[in-house]
Structure 1
């Protein structure tokens, strides 16, 4: 069976089995390669032939000579067949090296060394290119990280085992040049035998599509610059490939530098193999851990923001390493950390490029990347040799020379980081900001699987705080673009952030232009977030929705999803406590629950339809917060915290008569418990300044005889006569509604304006029982969750107030006039 270019949806078990078979095969391949190399290098030193620098060139040269042919093979034929051929070739090459050592013929052994590198040149584009075909884009960051991690662990094991094994046999047999051949032969023979199982692992990989292409010709063998030119046509691939090339130049430099330092410390004699293996083991282990950590970081999406951060860490670590004495534990740890950060530098770039390659060009473009990598590796070898000669010419000691070389590495890391920061400022800033958000907040999310993996979609969330954009970005596997009113651009910091994050800036006085820009972004395949309220809520409840999204949804013809950020009210970025910012967080980390609602399928979108969908999604978000735990009173008590009606930590007073009649005392007690407040049951009413009373008919009767002189009392009225105002000086009468012992809606004082230009937001209005609490929604005349029945004539208006149509008709009151008077 031939599998397609990329899995549709989740990979099958067969595809995952093929991926892991490839990982096992490439791991064994890498172990055999590196073990053979680290036996031949000390063997050359023992028999009087220095091969370290030659080895670096021979490893890189095949990628220069055969890169176009290797890429052509991976695209023209099934990558499974190329991988299988590479496994068979390794068995034969290791057998050749064994023969060379048996004959004591080092030049023939170096031919085998070179052929191992040739085999790797053909293996590389096939094993990298097959990743996406086996696991798809979603898991590509994870797959690429695991591939790099296991390869580095194999290299580490090969270096350590080979160096130790050779030195052990060399000392045991007599430590003379003639014995060196015997010390190398047995390990190499065992390696050759152990390479046979890799052939069977390659057979377990499913056969993927062959993309065909041009026939083999002489021109193909010299098409290096054509391939690189094609790679460079795509600006993103060009920049990413240069970053990858820098990594391999850096890795080659560190590799050779470590071997040179080990040779200097041992004079190339006994212990050279062990010490060089120890240095290389430290670097390889650090790199393997870095790749493993990167695969975890990139398990959900490829995040390029890690690249400049890793580059900065590489710069600092290289500076520290330059001043450490080689050989001690601090040196080994620092060398490992340098390699760790370098792996974190490479992984996002590598995964991003693999995802961007066209399906029929993966092998060819990867071969072009390998070619650049090899030139970078060769340049690193040349650079270190030049530095050694310059250091000797100016009279520096070997240790001073090695420190100078590492300082040069630190400088190059710093320059590369500066260059990448200029290219990826948004990615880095977003990553840092999201890291801060995830530290300060514990975010639970649900329904994100409803968002499409590809293509445009319009997301309509509630808008509670200035940090909502970061909260939404934190849970989206895809990058999202936000629509922002240009009036918010007065701040230079906001203007810079908007430009970096690709924000769609619009002007309210040019609505058609704003709609056009948003539609273009949706048609280009972006996830666009539009806050339909057009302003931040200052009550915690949903504000009136503006109508612009209706035309956008109809014209763009993309899926539309409601989204609710629960818990944002109460964070330091919300208007809770009457101000944005400048307040102490209640706790760190602070809990949030974000839900993506069901797609709104009705193409005739209306504000009423979206309002209902958003409120329904608020119920999903709060339900996910509790995950089935807690009582109904706990759930309802929490809902009260998401509206600026009852202040957190307040003292709530209630008459015993109202407590028995209304049956909402358990909810109020739960609210007080959750917010650090207090619930007091009273036998009589007392008008204390700032007091908060919850009640109904019993409290209304007591108010007439109360003394409110120079006192302000809030009365949250849940009684049957709540819509009839109680006009007493010093009393703030706030109609509310409870149904079956559950609090449904609450009025609150009008929230203050942050500035003169801020729009007015109502906390109450005539004929209303208050704003519907987040977590409740109306459907077919019933209140959910629970399917509760509202009093006759109640409906939700455009500002999320529960209004009584009958009452408004009876008293002939204009709600807007009431609001205007309140202002």
Structure 2
């Protein structure tokens, strides 16, 4: 088979989006008609007691839905590849109208075999429609939106199925009851809804014409052999190991769905003896399942909106297993008799579910279907993205063939299992419950197999879900990360959770570089292997750089933290030179990333310790900003640092946009003050009354408001002021306790050596705080590298959220706090490798 298809990077045009939604409208109407026709013929067959070869109508309907996909799969795939998929969809819409007229004629002449043939023809039409409607998704919306599109497509199908089965079942029952409820009037009751279906087929033709014509692919010529190439197409599908595994997962879903569908109908038949109310009750059961699937596909389209995440498949599989086993415990008539027998029926959690109208049963059925939809959606989207463009229809038809074979097997099991269980003289109700319990065990086995296949995706989804509970992480400018090819990711490093934050925000999976010495721990080694971590040895630097570069050459996004350590100041530490070598060896773009909000989480050194502190808030909001890619020949420590600061300004701008402050510069500057280890959050700081310098610093009030850290005239460990406070400290002796003085005076860069005071030079221009010094942070543990909060002659470290550029021998600050025109620094001002600011 050809190599897997490359991601389609195109952004859909307005015409393509209109075509996509027209396709959704057409396939929704098609699904509605299929299910409505089924839920007219099944109760009709029950009312007239019709069987064929001793098999009831509901089982024949299940077989007839699946059989065309088996018989005509190769031909349907060939048609979708040989011609424009849009033209195939137009032909399907016309064929549907013809078949529905056929069905109406069959009912008019009261000929059930002819009606079943018409139902079979409707399924044939769907078999040819399916590969076209699924294959056209990627051609219309591209890879980026494929997960969303697939989820919407399946959600709308389920909505149509729900509407079709309820409308058909209820209308048929009402007509049947109104006419006297005898077998003779059953035909008349079926005629009206079928005429409505035929009328509804007309708009479908219009929708199909609106879809833009997509290019036809080069397919082999039509020969008699094409119609019987089932096994060759399956061999093509199975030749790609990952496609084969995914297709088996999809086939399991359709077998599962067929089992639940027919099982629900048979249960309704048991409870009504196949007489009055059969159509309505089966519609209620199927409505619960369909509503569950609608909700599941809706959630899946949201979960997959940024990328196709296969980890949701085993997560949903676990939930399906629990729901199927739970369904076995709940009596549809509104009691928990199996739990009562085990002495557990008194539990409030179970009592709350039971209602006189079988609430527990319907809810459990809906939940089972909800998680089944989440199981299917990622697999479907992933397969559509991986199909080669020239064989998309053929492979989708092969998958459909496999799905329908699975469905037919499921129908056979629904018929066979009761026959075997009846040998034990069990009641029909007990047989129904044991059958769904066996389905639950099957779900469990399949899920265990999937977890073993993709353990990292499974753990990743669980981990990111847990992180999402405590953190709200928003990606900023994620389009700056190339959609394919090797990339070197260069983020700042503030907290122990940065790897998880980056993973949550990134549109692509990330491989992290880790010192190989950590692999000695079995738990860490297992975790790193699970997530394909790139192990390196700092004792062999040249080899380590080559290993990282080779991983990037293989097309991965590889992340290294260029500071080589966690920042305990909240500011960017000095960058290490290895990043330049890796970028050149790999010949790849480098993308700087700024994790804004890491400082302040319990995983950061805020409050001068890691972990052992109470969170400021739950959930904690973060921004992860992706800077513009840097070409490999342009990478330098200076360029990377500058780009990181630009990313910090972009993340701050994102926050400012949502803050909607009346004074944007003041709000932004106040927020910046809370991102470094200087003034402490939720801790008061001291200012002198009527200090003119303090009144000029517009960001202080915003800092106090955002981080609950108010200015006070009482003595605290943190003092802030200008000339007035500096003079008082110089002449007033030591404070009552060791204190830090954040000096914004005109002489701030001149050391102030007074016992009991830690002098921290700072800089503000036009009331905007530009930089601050801070005390050297304490060590987190004995091996922590020394970090500095101040340097002799400097006026502190540039606050995160500012970037700068050189303009006519001036450093010109930009960023939200700098305002639209920016802030020029005095001529001769310079910054060093750690962003300390030195005035001339």
Report the TM-score, using the length of structure 2 for normalisation: 0.90
Which of the numbers 220, 236, 240 marks the counterpart of 2:242? 236
Asked if 1:320 is matched to 2:331, the reply is no
CA displacement at 1:79 relative to structure 2? 1.1
Q: Any conservation in 1 of the 2:92–2:129 contact (CA below 8 Å)?
A: yes
Q: Any conservation in 2 of the 1:7–1:134 contact (CA below 8 Å)?
A: no
CA displacement at 1:479 relative to structure 2? 2.3
Deviates more, 1:352-361 or 1:325-334: 325-334
Asked if 1:405 is matched to 2:427, the reply is no
CA displacement at 1:251 relative to structure 2? 0.5
CA displacement at 1:350 relative to structure 2? 0.7
**Which residue does 1:104 correspond to in 2?**
110
**Which residue does 2:574 correspond to in 1?**
544
Number of paired residues?
Answer: 795
**Which residue does 1:82 correspond to in 2?**
88
Deviates more, 1:70-79 or 1:728-737: 728-737
Q: Any conservation in 2 of the 1:6–1:135 contact (CA below 8 Å)?
A: no
Provide the C-alpha distance between the structure 2 equivalents of 1:778 and 1:185, rounded to a whole number of angstroms: 76
Which of the numbers 130, 143, 146 marks the counterpart of 1:137? 143
CA displacement at 1:256 relative to structure 2? 0.8
CA displacement at 1:248 relative to structure 2? 0.5
Listed as ranges, the gaps of 5+ residues in structure 2 are: 51-55, 334-357
Residue 168 to residue 315, structure 1, CA distance change in 2 (3 Å)? same
Deviates more, 1:106-115 or 1:394-403: 106-115
Q: Any conservation in 1 of the 2:84–2:213 contact (CA below 8 Å)?
A: yes
**Which residue does 1:186 correspond to in 2?**
192
SS at match of 2:305: coil
CA displacement at 1:258 relative to structure 2? 0.8
**Which residue does 1:561 correspond to in 2?**
591
Provide the C-alpha distance between the structure 1 equivalents of 2:38 and 2:702, rounded to a whole number of angstroms: 70
CA displacement at 1:656 relative to structure 2? 5.4
Residue 266 to residue 644, structure 1, CA distance change in 2 (3 Å)? same
**Which residue does 1:694 correspond to in 2?**
720
**Which residue does 1:817 correspond to in 2?**
none
Provide the C-alpha distance between the structure 2 equivalents of 1:779 and 1:344, rounded to a whole number of angstroms: 48
Provide the C-alpha distance between the structure 2 equivalents of 1:668 and 1:192, rounded to a whole number of angstroms: 70
Equivalent residue runs for 1:587-736 within 5 Å: 587-601=617-631, 603-627=633-657, 629-631=661-663, 632-655=665-688, 659-660=691-692, 664-681=696-713, 691-703=717-729, 705-708=731-734, 711-736=737-762
SS at match of 1:469: helix
Provide the C-alpha distance between the structure 2 equivalents of 1:376 and 1:156, rounded to a whole number of angstroms: 22
CA displacement at 1:429 relative to structure 2? 2.3
Which of the numbers 62, 80, 87 marks the counterpart of 1:56? 62
Residue 652 to residue 91, structure 1, CA distance change in 2 (3 Å)? closer
SS at match of 2:594: strand
Residue 691 to residue 277, structure 1, CA distance change in 2 (3 Å)? closer
**Which residue does 1:160 correspond to in 2?**
166
Q: Any conservation in 1 of the 2:256–2:410 contact (CA below 8 Å)?
A: yes
Provide the C-alpha distance between the structure 1 equivalents of 2:575 and 2:491, rounded to a whole number of angstroms: 11
Residue 444 to residue 187, structure 1, CA distance change in 2 (3 Å)? closer
**Which residue does 2:495 correspond to in 1?**
465
CA displacement at 1:601 relative to structure 2? 4.9
Provide the C-alpha distance between the structure 2 equivalents of 1:18 and 1:692, rounded to a whole number of angstroms: 63
Deviates more, 1:362-371 or 1:584-593: 584-593
Residue 669 to residue 109, structure 1, CA distance change in 2 (3 Å)? closer
**Which residue does 1:818 correspond to in 2?**
none
**Which residue does 2:835 correspond to in 1?**
800
**Which residue does 1:197 correspond to in 2?**
203
CA displacement at 1:535 relative to structure 2? 1.1
CA displacement at 1:7 relative to structure 2? 6.9
**Which residue does 2:811 correspond to in 1?**
782
Provide the C-alpha distance between the structure 2 equivalents of 1:372 and 1:181, rounded to a whole number of angstroms: 35
**Which residue does 2:33 correspond to in 1?**
32
Q: Any conservation in 1 of the 2:81–2:392 contact (CA below 8 Å)?
A: yes
Provide the C-alpha distance between the structure 2 equivalents of 1:414 and 1:5, rounded to a whole number of angstroms: 34
Provide the C-alpha distance between the structure 2 equivalents of 1:28 and 1:703, rounded to a whole number of angstroms: 80
Q: Any conservation in 2 of the 1:541–1:771 contact (CA below 8 Å)?
A: yes
CA displacement at 1:704 relative to structure 2? 5.2
CA displacement at 1:791 relative to structure 2? 4.8
Residue 726 to residue 55, structure 1, CA distance change in 2 (3 Å)? same
For residues 146-200 of structure 1, give each alpha carbon's deviation from its aligned partner in whole angstroms, at most 9, with x where no partner exists. Answer: 2112212222222122222222222333333333233323332332343233223
**Which residue does 2:276 correspond to in 1?**
270
Provide the C-alpha distance between the structure 2 equivalents of 1:277 and 1:651, rounded to a whole number of angstroms: 64
Deviates more, 1:293-302 or 1:135-144: 293-302
CA displacement at 1:452 relative to structure 2? 2.4
Provide the C-alpha distance between the structure 2 equivalents of 1:101 and 1:666, rounded to a whole number of angstroms: 81
Provide the C-alpha distance between the structure 1 equivalents of 2:178 and 2:6, rounded to a whole number of angstroms: 54
Deviates more, 1:419-428 or 1:126-135: 419-428
Provide the C-alpha distance between the structure 1 equivalents of 2:670 and 2:162, rounded to a whole number of angstroms: 57
CA displacement at 1:392 relative to structure 2? 0.8
Provide the C-alpha distance between the structure 1 equivalents of 2:735 and 2:170, rounded to a whole number of angstroms: 92
Deviates more, 1:261-270 or 1:520-529: 520-529
For residues 755-782 of structure 1, give each alpha carbon's deviation from its aligned partner in whole angstroms, at most 9, with x where no partner exists. Answer: 3332221122323322222122332132
Equivalent residue runs for 1:300-379 within 5 Å: 300-327=306-333, 328-379=358-409
CA displacement at 1:432 relative to structure 2? 2.5
Deviates more, 1:703-712 or 1:423-432: 703-712
Provide the C-alpha distance between the structure 2 equivalents of 1:673 and 1:203, rounded to a whole number of angstroms: 58
SS at match of 2:634: coil
Q: Any conservation in 2 of the 1:468–1:565 contact (CA below 8 Å)?
A: yes
Q: Any conservation in 2 of the 1:778–1:784 contact (CA below 8 Å)?
A: yes
CA displacement at 1:789 relative to structure 2? 4.2
**Which residue does 2:796 correspond to in 1?**
770
**Which residue does 1:10 correspond to in 2?**
11
Residue 670 to residue 264, structure 1, CA distance change in 2 (3 Å)? closer
Which of the numbers 437, 462, 467 marks the counterpart of 2:467? 437
RMSD: 2.5
SS at match of 1:195: helix
SS at match of 2:795: strand
CA displacement at 1:247 relative to structure 2? 0.5
Listed as ranges, the gaps of 5+ residues in structure 1 are: 683-687, 807-823
Provide the C-alpha distance between the structure 1 equivalents of 2:140 and 2:667, rounded to a whole number of angstroms: 47
Provide the C-alpha distance between the structure 1 equivalents of 2:58 and 2:179, rounded to a whole number of angstroms: 24
